[in-house]
Amino acid sequence: MSYTYKVAKRKANRLSYRILGIIFAIVTILQFYLLVRGYAKHPMITGMFMVFLGFYGVYLIRMSFRKQAFDMTYRFDEDGLKVTHRYGEIQYTFDDIEFVTMVIADENMIFYILNVKAGKDVYTIPFTNKKELCETIYEFVNSRIKHPDEDDN
């Protein structure tokens, strides 16, 4: 028995993050130019603003290239969890999965979230209008992972 679920991400979101990051970097460069030329009335505040804006622009650009920003396919089967993304695929056994939680914000909401921590990676998998699938995958994975409070008898 296996369950496959694909989370599609929009290309426009990645592009928006990159454009916004580039705009922040350009504003930082212009502010630095004005600061060096002596046009800044408050150089300390302008410098702090530049540092914040510059680092945030770089952060946005960098985050637009992370693997969670692209389409991901999750396959839960008897061997464990297989995550396929733009940069390749990762196979986790049930021994690698530390915990799985299901987040239900409200019974009347249309989305459910499954959090899976495997190794150093944490996957947040949104299920929109798929309550039964989310619950089924949660029960499937939760019954196969080791829980720290269980005895090793």
How is the chain split into domains, by residue range? 9-67, 71-142
- Select the CATH number that applies to the domain covering 71-142 from these four: 3.90.1720, 1.10.3470, 2.170.120, 2.30.29: 2.30.29
pTM of the model: 0.78
In terms of Cβ atoms closer than 10 Å to its own Cβ (0-12, 13-18, 19+), residue 41 is: exposed
C-alpha closest to that of 97 among 123, 73, 72: 123
Interacting residues of 53 by C-beta distance below 8 A, sequence separation 6+: 24, 27, 28, 31
Tens of each residue's pLDDT in the chain, 153 residues: 889 999 999 999 999 999 999 999 999 999 999 999 988 888 899 999 999 999 999 999 999 999 889 999 999 999 899 999 999 999 999 999 998 998 877 777 788 899 999 888 899 999 888 888 989 999 999 898 887 776 554
Place of tokens 């702090």: 48
